[in-house]
Amino acid sequence: MIRLENLSKHFASSIAVDGVSMEVAEGEVCVLLGPSGCGKTTTMKMINRLIEPSSGKVFIDGRDTSSVDVVELRRSIGYVIQQIGLFPNKTIEDNICIVPDLLGKDRKASRRRAAELLEMVNLDPAIFSKRYPKELSGGQQQRVGVIRALAADPPVLLMDEPFGAIDPINREVIQDEFMKLQASLKKTVIFVSHDIDEAVKMASNVAIFRSGKLVQYDTPDNLLAHPADSFVADFVGTDRTLKRLRLISVRDAMTADPPRVRAEDPAELATALMREHDHASIVMVGPRGRARGYVRRDTTEGRAEPISELFEKLPCMINVNDNLRNAVSMMFTNDLSWLPCVDDDGFYKGYITQQGITHLLGATYRDI
């Protein structure tokens, strides 16, 4: 979708971007990451030609951008900046519709679209459409900044540290909202950031820059597991393995299809199952397979009554779609070494252990 070919930018006394080549596939979020002055913003601005490249080419959808009229090019690319840049003299609605209006689209249709977009970021159009930017909080303004870039439905979105100036709590919320929006709109996004956590959270691929050069272009998990050099390793942080926890879902880490018992089963069956799998406890499920409780091996050993008289309540369960970071946090909070994993309807799907997680994370390092 977007291809950079040997892209360079030389300023009078310095080289800002030096021979960058990369490709971003359609619907992906590519985060350009690096310390300030590394050339990531310059690279992004060469895509919509706010900065003209010294050499090299940019292709969008196979079309050389230098052959397209620059105004037409920019109108076909959504653009979000850190300072938001809403026009204070225009209402929120008119701000959102700037590009559709420039393109001469039907006013009523674009105003309707603006209201839809406002709803998508949890701003009530009845309240916000006619307000002015100064009447909104910073977080609300940047939500408008993002949907303004989406109003003309451009296939490509450029975002220059869009959430950098927003407080940490709101930033998380807006990031989540944007991911939800992106999941349904599937834009091709180039996202400049200096925050590794943000990159790991949002990116399909991360491009790490250092003094104008692209040093590693990889998936977040690979980046964290196998940094290309010591600069990347330093940049992603010494706790990079912990950061990977967020990238792995419980579903991928759990032991699926585990042994289970029903309430009416006798204790001997539970003991036998636990002995067979070498477990210290086993989950009890309801008639249709929902996780209801668990029994310990030292409780059932030598007993014969039904499980329903011996089971204990499960202190907590984790959803299979959750990530390992939350799973580990839940284990630490409840002083547990394992967690039962359930789906959205509460059906028992598997279990996850501290040892299993350690093993999984360690495996990628042992491979090399």
Partner 1 sequence: MMGKPAWAMISRLCRWLSMVAIFALGILAHSSGLTASVAEYWGDIRYLSIQHLELTAISGAMAIVIGIPLGVLLARGKLGFMGPIIAQIVNLGTTIPTLAILALAMTVLGLGSPPALFGLTVLTILPIMLNTIAGLRSIPPALIEAARGMGMTNGQILMKVELPNAMFVILAGIRTALAINIGTVPLAFLIGGGGLGELIFTGIDLMDTGMLLAGAIPTALLAILVDIAASQVQFWLVPRGINPLR
**150 near partner 1, judged by CB under 8 A:** no
CA 286, 289, 295, 300 torsion: positive or negative? Answer: positive
Query: Do 246 and 273 contact (CB within 8 A), yes or no?
Result: no
Which 8-state DSSP code applies to residue 312? B
Continuous H helices in 85-186: 92-96, 98-102, 107-120, 125-128, 138-150, 168-185
Q: How far is the CB of 230 from partner 1 (least distance, A)?
A: 35
Query: Which residue in the set 19, 27, 111, 132 belongs to the binding site for partner 1 (CB under 8 A)?
Result: 132
Query: Which residue in the set 14, 21, 55, 83 belongs to the binding site for partner 1 (CB under 8 A)?
Result: 83
The amino acid that residue 136 corresponds to is L
Q: How far is the CB of 71 from partner 1 (least distance, A)?
A: 5
End-to-end CA distance of the chain: 32
For residues 160 to 179, the per-residue mask of contacts with partner 1, x marking binding by CB under 8 A and - elsewhere, is --------------------
**75 near partner 1, judged by CB under 8 A:** yes
Residue 143 and residue 123: Cα distance in Å, rounded?
Answer: 9
Query: Which residue in the set 73, 223, 236, 342 belongs to the binding site for partner 1 (CB under 8 A)?
Result: 73
Query: Which residue number, 96 or 245, has a Cβ lying nearer to partner 1?
Result: 96
Q: Of 21-29, 88-96, 181-189, 242-250, which segment contacts partner 1 by CB under 8 A?
A: 88-96
**307 near partner 1, judged by CB under 8 A:** no
Query: Do 149 and 120 contact (CB within 8 A), yes or no?
Result: no
Structure tokens at 134: 């100064």
* 78, 82, 83, 85 alpha-carbon torsion, rounded to 10°: 10
Query: Which residue number, 27 or 85, has a Cβ lying nearer to partner 1?
Result: 85
The residues of the shown chain that bind partner 1, judged by CB under 8 A, are 48, 50, 71-76, 79, 81, 83-91, 98-99, 102, 132-134, 148-149, 158
